[in-house]
């Protein structure tokens, strides 16, 4: 089961496929953070979800919100995926699945497949989980849920 709204979000310290260092604590007091975990680059639902966040990125950024996509795919796969689809935000390779485990983005089937589950967290500027969206096959649940919630956050 996913972490719950109101809980302190686990901190992370990762490097994105573009080489950017990302730490949750660096966003504290400045930006909300959308962490979306997805099973894999270049798959139909994951591509729809990523393109949905891409298309909403300017709107989210204007509301002091950063988007970060996470899957077990390699940095090279992420770079190709981002280039092909014009992704303006960071993608993180979680090959060891530590971040996925920390955010409980794992399930029996995804563990067996060596992937992350599709789950999205909205973390507010204070570092608390403000929203959790989990729908395995409906990317729009994640994107629209995030857009609606971020519109309500300060």
Indicate which CATH number applies to the domain containing 65: 3.40.30.10
Task: Give the number of domains in the chain.
Answer: 1
Distances (CA, A) of 42 to 18, 23, 73, 116: 18, 26, 10, 15
Handedness of CA 116, 149, 44, 90 (dihedral sign): negative
- The structure's pTM equals 0.91
Q: Which residues are catalytic?
A: 46
- Is position 75 within any domain? yes
Residues in Cβ contact with 77 at an 8 Å cutoff, skipping those fewer than 6 apart: 41, 42, 93
- Residue 4 resides in a domain: no
Full domain range(s) for residue 100: 13-152
C-alpha angle 115/59/86, rounded to 5°? Answer: 50
- Per residue in 95-122, pLDDT (tens digit) is 888 998 899 887 655 555 656 788 999 9
Residue 114: predicted pLDDT: 58
- Say if 8 falls within a structural domain: no
In a domain, 3, yes or no: no
Has residue 66 been placed in a domain? yes
């Amino acid at each position: 089961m996913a972490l719950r709204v109101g809980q302190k979000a686990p901190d992370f310290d990762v490097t994105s496929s573009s080489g950017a260092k990302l730490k949750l604590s660096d966003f504290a007091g400045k930006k909300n953070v959308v962490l979306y975990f997805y099973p894999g680059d270049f798959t139909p639902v994951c591509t729809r979800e990523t393109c949905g966040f891409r298309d909403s990125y300017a709107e989210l950024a204007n509301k002091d919100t950063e988007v970060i996509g996470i899957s077990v795919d390699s940095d090279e796969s992420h770079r190709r995926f981002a280039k092909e689809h014009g992704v303006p935000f960071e993608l993180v390779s979680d090959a060891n699945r530590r971040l996925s485990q920390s955010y409980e983005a794992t399930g029996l089937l995804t563990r067996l497949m060596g992937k992350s589950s599709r789950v999205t967290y909205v973390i507010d500027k204070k570092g608390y989980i403000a929203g959790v969206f989990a729908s395995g096959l409906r990317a729009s649940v994640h994107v629209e849920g995030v857009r609606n919630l971020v519109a309500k956050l300060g």
